[in-house]
Amino acid sequence: MTLLINEIYSNRIICAADRQITFKNKKPEKHKKLFDIPYLNGCVSYFGSCRLNNSRLLWEIIIDFKRKNNSITSLKEFAEKLCSELNLHSCKSLLQKNGTGVHVCGFNKHIPEFWFIRNIKHMNGWTYYGFDTRFRISEEVSKYQHQLPILFSNGDLRPCITGWNDFSQFASSMLKSTGKTLTNITDNELNILVKWKMQAISNFYSAMMAKKLISSPIDTQLYKP
């Protein structure tokens, strides 16, 4: 399982992911799920089923696509072409059984963007259901442009729905005595805070849950206009 986090502010974006990969009837593995796009001011990350066909895994397709497409000049173009690439390499019978999604997030000059690629049709609470045989794409930040900061998350949504904002509220309360807020802490402090929240969730899974679905190390990327 996975926990992907994208905290989007007007002046910066921080993205985070754990490294737990769970295969059916196999021991869990650890692989990166969050990748910087060095020629764009953003990153790409993934959640859900990693097996899109019988020969290649999702992160292999993403890494290969990122390497071969360094002439792309916008997150929009990157996300749209990646969506087409995933459809090209996906087995429809596998997609129909499993939910998979990709985040492409960063800045287009001074404007934050979040592109969501997925084959998921519906959500009920923290459960995904109804899976298409093709990926589709949409840009999500523009819907909430006047509500920033905003959180986009996917994977195992239970800790986000039930606890992420509580962690943020705790941090906000503690920072009051220092004169700081979540919007004016330094980039390094924000990075530390997000990693702390992710690590706390990972520790809880290790100590209290039958299955450890979220696991360290935690990877983060921070972007500014």
| Within-domain flag for 179 | no
Q: Can you give the residue range of the structural domain that contains 130?
A: 3-155+215-223
47 found inside a domain = yes
pLDDT of residue 1: 60
Residue listed under structure tokens 């998921």: 120
Residues 6+ apart with CB under 8 A from 89: 52, 53, 56, 61
CB-CB contact of 147 with 113 (8 Å) = no
Which is more confidently placed, 90 or 164?
90
Q: What is the pLDDT of residues 138-192, one digit of tens each?
A: 999 988 878 889 999 998 888 766 788 889 999 999 999 999 999 999 999 999 9
CATH of the domain at 108: 3.60.20
The pLDDT, as a whole number, for residue 212 is: 67
Question: Given a cut of 90, is residue 83 above it in pLDDT?
Answer: yes
Residue 210 lies in a domain: no
Mean pLDDT of all residues in the chain? 91
User: Is 37 a domain residue?
Assistant: yes
Distances (CA, A) of 24 to 21, 34, 55, 87, 131: 10, 22, 16, 23, 19
pTM of the predicted structure, to 2 decimals: 0.92
Q: Looking at the domain assignment, is residue 208 inside a domain?
A: no
User: What is the number of other CB atoms lying within 10 angstroms of the CB of residue 105?
Assistant: 29
- Return d(Cα 24, Cα 64) in angstroms, integer: 25
183 lies in some domain: no
Number of independent structural domains in the chain: 1
Q: What is the mean pLDDT of residues 82-91?
A: 96
Does residue 178 fall inside a structural domain?
A: no
* Local confidence band at 43 (pLDDT 50, 70, 90 cut-offs): very high
Residue 213 banded pLDDT, cuts 50, 70, 90: low
Which pair of structure tokens corresponds to residue 210? 């039958």
Residue 21 belongs to some domain of the structure: yes
Which of 34, 156, 155 shows the shortest CA–CA distance to 101?
155
- 203: pLDDT strictly greater than 90: no
Q: In the prediction, which pLDDT does 188 show?
A: 97
Over residues 114-120, the mean pLDDT reads 97
Q: Give mean pLDDT, residues 110-136.
A: 93
Task: Please give the pLDDT value at position 219.
Answer: 96
Return d(Cα 95, Cα 98) in angstroms, integer: 5
